Amino acid sequence: MSLAALCGWRGLSSGGQAEAQSGGGGALSAAQRIAGWAERARSLLQRGILPIIDTEATYGGQIPTDSMVEQMDRHGVALVCFAPNFNDPARGSRSSLALAKQHPDRFVPTTCDGTTGYWFRQQGPFLEVMQREARSGDFFLLGELEFRHYPSPAQYRARKFGRDIIIPIDGAWGHAVFQLSSETGLAFQIHYEPEDALLAPLEKMLEAYPGAKVIWCHAGQVRYPDRQSAYGPDYLRQTLSRHPNLFCDLALSEPGSRYPGSGAIHNTAQFGDGRLRHEWRRLLETHPDRFTIGSDIAPDRYEDFPTKIVQSRTLLASLSRDTAARIAFQNAWRLLTRQEWTA
């Protein structure tokens, strides 16, 4: 079996179709990218810094690349998986490729988030573009798709309630995305507020598509406790045991802050000072291979990046050294590269 077949990289020898189409030229192969990422992670380790791979971040043109680069260096972030907003079907996720071309050792080609009307309406070109990009072999991760989403705290405060999204995860587009992940081996991210009635459909899909890899964003985020009574560390412990294709990221709101829609403290995993709560620490130590770090920055809040990374490092400091290293970067490494991290 060839290396390409072993790794599942369709694009390993094709040299980056989408980038070539966008006039990128000279695109790196997957193997070359991975070698550059490994070198960057190793250089951090050699300086005694635990590298972080940020698997959840939304890119928009307003985010200044230079300051991102500077903050990544200052805070020991090896890689950011920047998923662009989907605003232009003709452009698709090319800005993620352009970023990766500028800084190939820092930014991971990631397909667009499902965070705009193109996704919410469940019609039109979004799915087709994502399928084409995923199959091109140019991308390493699929962006965050909002299946159940409440207005963000900022939107809530501005009384913009339009982003109250309900898309059945077992509907036509849900099936298409699970199928795409199974087919390409690319992990995809879901925003899925863990309401009691929504847990069974997700588990049904995880069962039906054992080859799909799902990163459930914002583990520990509970915004309406009365609708989300079944969710918590015990639920996740059992669900992760039952479904080896499920992963979670730990992109969490500021410890102790309250969701304006309910008044509840929505970060249920961390104490106000950022340390992990005992039951969450136990969960992460029980399933050390299933969690990643996410900053959840976006064009309207990219300046939070340093704060989010500091918050993540406080969380990691509650864990054993081995588990912290897995969650900081080794699990993401495996999901992105399909290889185990080797020092």
Binding marks (x or -) toward Zn ion, 20..59, rule CB under 5 A? ----------------------------------------
Binding region for Zn ion (CB under 5 A) out of 2-10, 194-202, 213-221, 276-284: 213-221
CB of 31 to Zn ion, least distance (A): 31
φ, ψ (nearest 5 deg) of residue 127: -65, -45
10, 101, 106, 191: which one binds Zn ion (CB under 5 A)? 191
Minimum CB distance to Zn ion smaller for 133 or for 296: 296
Minimum CB distance to Zn ion smaller for 120 or for 341: 120
Binding region for Zn ion (CB under 5 A) out of 26-34, 207-215, 216-224, 308-316: 216-224
Closest Cα to residue 128, out of 92, 95, 94?
92
Residue nearest to Zn ion (CB): 191
Binding region for Zn ion (CB under 5 A) out of 174-182, 186-194, 197-205, 229-237: 186-194
Contacts of 222 (CB under 8 A, 6+ apart): 194, 228, 231, 232, 264, 266, 268
Cβ atoms of 156 and 166 within 8 Å: the answer is: no
Minimum CB distance to Zn ion smaller for 37 or for 247: 247
94 binds Zn ion (CB under 5 A): no
Cβ atoms of 167 and 173 within 8 Å: the answer is: yes
Minimum CB distance to Zn ion smaller for 205 or for 217: 217
CB of 168 to Zn ion, least distance (A): 18
Minimum CB distance to Zn ion smaller for 9 or for 291: 291
CB of 194 to Zn ion, least distance (A): 12
Minimum CB distance to Zn ion smaller for 19 or for 56: 56
Binding region for Zn ion (CB under 5 A) out of 127-135, 188-196, 276-284, 326-334: 188-196
Binding region for Zn ion (CB under 5 A) out of 206-214, 215-223, 305-313, 318-326: 215-223
Closest Cα to residue 169, out of 146, 202, 145?
202
User: What gap in Å lies between CA 127 and CA 125, rounded to an integer?
Assistant: 6
φ, ψ (nearest 5 deg) of residue 260: -65, -25
User: What gap in Å lies between CA 78 and CA 39, rounded to an integer?
Assistant: 10
Binding region for Zn ion (CB under 5 A) out of 82-90, 132-140, 217-225, 318-326: 217-225
Please state the length of the chain.
343
> Max Cα separation, the chain?
56
Listed in sequence order, the DSSP H helices in 219-342 are 233-242, 278-286, 305-316, 321-325, 331-337
281 binds Zn ion (CB under 5 A): no
Per DSSP, the chain holds a count of helices (H) and strands (E) of: 15, 8
Please give the C-alpha separations between residue 78 and each of 50, 254, 264, 332, in angstroms, as whole numbers. 9, 22, 33, 11
CB of 36 to Zn ion, least distance (A): 28
Cβ atoms of 187 and 215 within 8 Å: the answer is: yes
User: What gap in Å lies between CA 302 and CA 64, rounded to an integer?
Assistant: 9
Minimum CB distance to Zn ion smaller for 20 or for 165: 165
217 binds Zn ion (CB under 5 A): yes
Minimum CB distance to Zn ion smaller for 217 or for 309: 217
**Residues within the interface to Zn ion (CB under 5 A):** 191, 217
